[in-house]
Amino acid sequence: MNIAHFLTHKSNVAYLYNDFTLRQALEKMKHHGYTAIPVISREGQYIGTVCEGDFLWYLVRGEGNQPLQQIDVQDVETMQLSDLPFSRQYEPVNITATIDTLIDKAVTQNFVPVVDDLGSFIGIITRRDILRYFYQTVSQQE
């Protein structure tokens, strides 16, 4: 089975550029209501996926047993998304990946980023779309 069947194309996906400020990124995530969103470069390369928790732990952080340190909220106006460490890496798959590889990734990720042979972000495949397809396939066989 070709995984392109499940692809939501980049033009229909909300994503962030890695040079966005933290404020721009938070506003876009809030607008779309997402808890995780892909991050790409201006050249279209997939960088990673940022989650709400990444912002939280960046704004209020502590090392080891030291007390939490807060970053001034005004700093979100100037800090770039590229300064933010992503706590969890959403591994992308190539558009030529097998369905087994796709399902393996979808078990632990809400969506699977898809890249072309040059590493350019071309879209996502959601776990919901995969489950819906297999549910419909099983339902039709009964």
Instruction: Determine the Cα–Cα distance for residues 125 and 127; give it in Å rounded to an integer.
Output: 7
Nearest C-alpha neighbor of 99 from the set 90, 89, 107, 88: 107
pTM for this model (two decimals): 0.85
Could you list the mean pLDDT of each consecutive 10-residue stretch along the chain, which spans 142 residues?
90 96 93 94 96 84 59 78 85 92 90 95 93 79 71
Which residues span the domain enclosing 118? 3-141
SS3 92: coil
Decide if 102 contacts 112 (C-beta within 8 A): yes
Number of domains in the chain: 1
Looking up residue 61, the CATH number of its domain turns out to be 3.10.580.10
